[in-house]
Amino acid sequence: MGILEGKVAIITGGGQGIGEGLVHAFCKEGAKVVNVGRTLSKVERVAADVKAEGGDAIALQCDVSDRAQMDAAAAKTVETYGKIDILVNNAMSQHLVPFEETTEEDMWDAYKNNVLGTFVCVQSCLPYLKKTEGRIINFSSGSATHGSSKMVSYGSSKGAIMSMTKILAVELAPYHINVNCVVPTAVTPSFEKLYAESTPERRAQMLNGYLITREKGLGDPEKDVGGVVLFLASEYSQYMTGRTLFADGGKAMIR
């Protein structure tokens, strides 16, 4: 019996990378998962993979920054599974552009999808989470905590999510809803793209400083990041709220 047996979770941005790993991790621990993403084919593929492994997941197309779409996704989750216990706000938008070349459109897009998206998801799911005294897990980034070049729009928006996590933890405490945040580092399509476009010197810098190493240098979305998120979604973290945990192989220790 898994640690999330009988729980229902919405995971956003579950079509690839960390989100895909989370869907697999949650289903293996007994959760029923609604996999939400902008590209239906991606979330459908992940849901099909999970079902082939014996898990229970459905896929929904949704722009998390669109209130009507997210309201519909939350309602569909309850229609299908009867409740919402866990919301994982993993969906994000990223622009890898030097500061002087970053446009206002880049900034607005990052804040719309990352900050507003998290805000909308929480408000859409909140009526249901109050009934289950549920859990909310948000996602920030090392680019917000120790700075990363070419990430002013992404990093600053992720810093705002850390602040939002603390505020939500205070406001939702009367409803017994725990709200926490994760700063992950894992091998994902976005990281591989950034790595491929970088100079040899930049690549060496990107892979330097991890105290816990893996075959590809960075962590695994399902096993390494997924394990931390499972902890925050489970009863094992029932006395923790408003915190940001680093699943980054110890890299934050040296910055």
Q: What is the pLDDT of residue 253?
A: 58
Map out the domains of the chain with their CATH numbers.
8-254 (3.40.50.720)
Q: Are 76 and 47 in contact (CB under 8 A)?
A: no
Asked which of 38-42, 72-76, 204-208, 222-226 is least confident by mean pLDDT, the reply is 204-208
Query: Torsion angle, CA of 152/88/186/196, rounded to 10 degrees?
Result: -50
**205 or 163: whose pLDDT is higher?**
163
pLDDT of residue 216: 65
For the chain, what percentages of helix, strand and coil (3-state, to nearest 5) are there?
55, 15, 30
Q: What is the mean pLDDT of residues 206-212?
A: 78
Q: Any catalytic annotation for residue 239?
A: no
User: Which of the residues 154, 195, 236, 239 is marked catalytic?
Assistant: 154
The pTM of this model reads 0.94
